[in-house]
Amino acid sequence: MKAVMRIGDVAVDNPVALSPMAGVTNSIFRRICKEMGAGLVVTEMVSCKGLLHNNQRSQELLAFREEERPIAFQLFGSEPEVMGKAARLIAALEPDLIDINMGCPTPKIVKNGDGAALMLDPDLAARVVESVAENVPCPVTVKLRRGWDEASPSAADLAPLLAAAGAQAFTIHGRYREQFYRGEADWESIAAVKAVVDVPVWGNGDVDSPDAALRMLQQTGCDGVMIGRAALGNPWIFREVHNFLRCGEYLPRPSLRERLELALAHLEEEVRAVGEPAGVRKMRSQLAWYTKGFPQAAAIRQELNTAETVEEVRRLLEGCLYMEKT
């Protein structure tokens, strides 16, 4: 396994990171992944305009605890001056890194020229990076996709421009924007970026096991792997990948009891944060991921989708253990 990664003056002690996911990677989930071995965690993406308009939701997305460090705040926007002002505002919170989202494929984001749409205008993208880098003391990183489509500038075309503008690391998701999350990620696009920049590169896309993580590192030469969807209901993947890269050994998969206990602990944290039943409703999708592969999982998920209390959820999950034994 590669030694400690350095992004500017920030040390990342292992090359396995939690990728930002809207509606998922809040402080509670990040802390769980950190405890499981993630070397770096990233917030949900935050609107720069929302921050400047003192939007409460935007501010809530940046809440974190010291045990999450190193942590990157991810911002989205496409106006250089606005991005710079918002970055300067959140720099007061002392994030370890500020990451610029140039990879989100969601229509409501790209229709405003944000997210992956920035890849269509390399000069504007470079001015965004320059503005953010000039306004903050911490390193600035960028999340890119392979490209918008085959006919548009690629990540390898943009990365040198963005590095010259101040980007000190990149995350490359190996799919075009038009693919969203369909099909296989093209890892060669990650290798292509690594070949043209002298800063750390994280690979992202289809890392769903220790073996996949090792293959990505070997095939692309990237410095670390970002894990997103494979961590949904499965934060154990961080300790499994980290251990495998460190010593070549597979850890045992968590038992059904371990999975249920973590799901309940996660739920109880959410309820403490936002109350009940709001926390239960918020956790429904997470609980569906935690119960993937459980006995009669489809039927259990249907009942979880109407649960309103922690005790209801506990009863349903404990029922899974009973079904496994019978």
Q: Which entry of 48, 104, 222, 320 is annotated as an active-site residue?
A: 104
Establish how many alpha carbons lie within 13 A of residue 45's alpha carbon, considering only the half-sphere containing its beta carbon: 21
Q: Please say if 33 is a catalytic residue.
A: no
Active site (catalytic) residues: 104
